[in-house]
Amino acid sequence: MKIAPSILSADISNLGRDVKRVEQAGADYLHIDVMDGNFVPNLSFGANVVQRLRGQSDLTFDVHLMVEHPEKWISEFAAAGADIIGVHYEATPHIHRALRMIHEAGKKAELVICPGTSVAMITDLLSDVDQVLVMTVDPGFGGQHFLPSMTHKIKQLAEIKAQEGFAFEIEVDGGINDQTIAQCKQAGATIAVAGSFVYNHETPAIQIQKLKAV
Ligand code: DX5
Ligand code: ZN
């Protein structure tokens, strides 16, 4: 599986160093969690952080927008250097427009679903996305426990993908460690986000190797 370390759990006072560490350790993507204090009960990074990191890293930037009305922010994050932009199904009544705006900005469009949203709600959108992110915790914080009941959604998405011949990636986010990643891989996930498992350890490279070995 591709591994996307989440900088939410990095040492923010040494962010550049912590990004380099995972890049040198073979991370595939860099997951950047953007929180607005409304859609989720927390605040994190703005587009200026993406822009500064862009100058220091060649990793694919996977920007997870946990913000209400993401349409307002897409162009700013695209200009800052995001490669993939994720928008929540729950964050706007006009989700298809948001996905289209991401493509119009020349970026990969990712559709994200919270634990309370079923795959049935997004089937009509699957032909128009590059990536689906299945949240395996309610978003807002790092270090939460993986919800095993979410794995059936990964299976459903993998089935639809095979049946319809779609090429979207299936990503998981929340509570991923060297145990829970195995269930996700088996169900059909292709990318795993990991924050605390990677960064709450003195050697992130070892943690990335553990995830890649599953
Ligand atoms: C949660 C974020 C996650 C978070 C994952 O709202 O979307 O990306 O950083 O952290 P862990 O891996 O610690 O659950
Ligand atoms: Zn995330």
* Residue 23's pLDDT band (cuts 50, 70, 90): very high
Confidence of residue 93 (pLDDT cuts 50, 70, 90): very high
Contacts of 31 (CB under 8 A, 6+ apart): 4, 5, 6, 7, 62, 64, 173, 193, 195
Show me where the domains of the chain are located.
2-213
Overall fold of domain 2-213: TIM Barrel (3.20.20)
Distance 177 CA to ligand 1 centre (A): 11
Which atom of ligand 1 lies at the shortest distance from residue 64's CA? Answer: 7
Give the type of residue at 8: L
Residue with tokens 């990712």: 110
pLDDT digits (tens, 9 = 90+) for 172-184: 999 999 999 999 9
Give the distance (Å) from ligand 2 centre to CA of residue 89.
Answer: 14
pLDDT, mean of residues 69-93: 98
Ligand nearest to the CA of 198: 1
Find, among 92, 188, 208, 196, the residue nearest to 134 by Cα.
188
- Nearest-CA residue for ligand 1 atom 1 is 139
